[in-house]
Chains A and B, each alone.
Chain A
Amino acid sequence: MWLRFMKPWGLRPRGEKWKGRLQSLLALQPLRLASGCRPPSVTARALVNHWAQLFEERGVPEARESSEYIVAHVLGAKTFQSLSASQRCAPITDLQQEQIGELCTRRLQRMPVQYVIGEWDFQGLTLKMTPPVFIPRPETEELVNLVLHEQSQRCQEFRRKRTLAHQSHSWPLILDVCCGSGAIALSLLSKLTQSRVVAVDKGEEAVQLTRENAQRLHLEDRIQIVRHDITSGVNREQLLPWGPVDFVVSNPPYIFHCDMAQLAPEILSYEDTDSLDGGENGMSVIREILSQAPMLLKDSGSIFLEVDPRHPELVEKWLQSHPDLGLSLLATHVDFCGKPRFLHIHKSRDPGSRRTQNV
């Protein structure tokens, strides 16, 4: 019965959706009274089915998932699967139905689910998401794990050598280039409880969002957020407030320019293309990071990059043609789909005169 009432909102043309919904809600009231008894309460599952079907009809990808995430969000859960039995069968209020309708209408306009509900999870954190700041992809969670793994290896090595070396063990300093929403920087800070991170992005929205996320997660004391375009050269004072870093981590724009047109509407019309478009062969920002990294890294520091599966070969060639940088590709790691996705690049020697200065 309620489906009959709901259909009109979703199917209404975009412009008049708000007014239309209110009218149909008002129209619903007298009917309820007339029937003389409580109308059957709408269940969460029925709402999910309704919107999933509508998404399907309109060609919205991940129709069921989108519908589930939105309904769960309005009911106060992260996923539909994590709704408790009582949450699931409690009657849904008119206000909740209205909220769900409003959010689903945005999804019908192909807005990514993460922007629709205004947040998403990355590693263990819930981050605020606002357009047009790049939405972190699941692959990048693995990039963070690689950095954490490297750090735990360094710790073990340090413990083994402790009797020999006199340098004190310290938490790594990290530079996150193209930080977007702050996903990489903040998840590293939450795991490495005494590390400090410098997060850099050229977009004002990204810098703002990283700052907001850092505050929400109470990590703002250990992060320095800098608005800076890495392609315009290095500003060491800005980028290295605490001196050279142990790790440079980045998920730079790496999509080949020629592939940009084929991206889904969710990406093309909502996400900042500057955070995706890597130029002619997706290398423009990668090259900049590699050129500048030797000046930013400590001796034997590491760079961790997320790249396109065609990049490992290109990057290796490029590094070979730039021996003066003193960088070497230590390892290529595959993502959960088995695609070569992550590069671990090592700074093997200092290119400039710093080494002699240190001696």
Chain B
Amino acid sequence: MTTTQDTSVANGAERQPRRRAAWRGSAKGSPFIAVGFVAPLIAYLIAFYAYPLYRSIDLSVHDYNIRAFVQGNAEFVGLENYVDVVTSDLFPTALWNTFVFVFLSLVFQYTIGLGLAVFFRNKFRLSGVLRALFLVPWLLPLIVSGSVWAWMLNGDYGIINSFLAVFGVDQINWLTDPDTAMTAVVIANIWLGIPFNLVILYSGLQNIPEDVYEASSLDGAGPWKTFTRITFPLLRPVSAITLLLGLVYTLKVVDIIWVMTTGGPANATTTLAIWSYREAFGTGQPDFSPAAAIGNLLIIIALIFGFFYLRMQKRMEDH
């Protein structure tokens, strides 16, 4: 960064007089030019952020049954949809499932991702190839990985059960037993999320200066001490953003759960995101209003953690 800045300053000094003249000449046109340059961004933001958000809120405060959806004359009901959702029997279940799903996924994705990142920090033969192979889950279409996991976890013919049977474990009905279904989808989701954590944490590790490690090894720090005193603290900003992005991503996971269990059995894997999707698209009887209300609640939850992150970051900067 510093070098590029230097050259630009040098060039700028040379060109400055001419540039100033140009600006003076076009003083009248400059606001339009400014608008011209900002317009694409504004248009993009309006079309792809503001309007969908507005539409989502609009859906959630009206009573859009199918007829009203087509005819566009939905009744305004205020926060009724939100009240219905929050007081629904399914709400505590879905909230708890969302918490369990997100918490377990994040803890294991992060821990395993960090372990692998530290492991790959020591360059060895084929480490590049191996690291690339760990990205495979990321590259596979979710419908493929979801189906394969569902197939492997199949209670009657799944390879995981036949493997466990070798050790004398009884048949586990991973996806069809309400007690194990959540474990099954969490396992699949952890597998999916490891590459993301690995990549970001690995690049974070590259930014820790080598001399810090050299200094610590001169001071006689062992591998564990190095990790707890150097790697982990210096990786904290990267860890925070990894966890935040992971949280936002995991909160809205629909595909992997939908492919594996469609939220069942008996709502054991129904998270808020699955509930929203099911209301809108899962039944052939689309209820867009409650679906939008649940979706907006998810946005609020993600926002809360976003602010939490910003505060944490500010506190770190203040130190």
- A-B complex is real: no
Which residues of B are in contact with A by a Cβ distance under 8 Å?
A: none
Which residues of A are in contact with B by a Cβ distance under 8 Å?
A: none
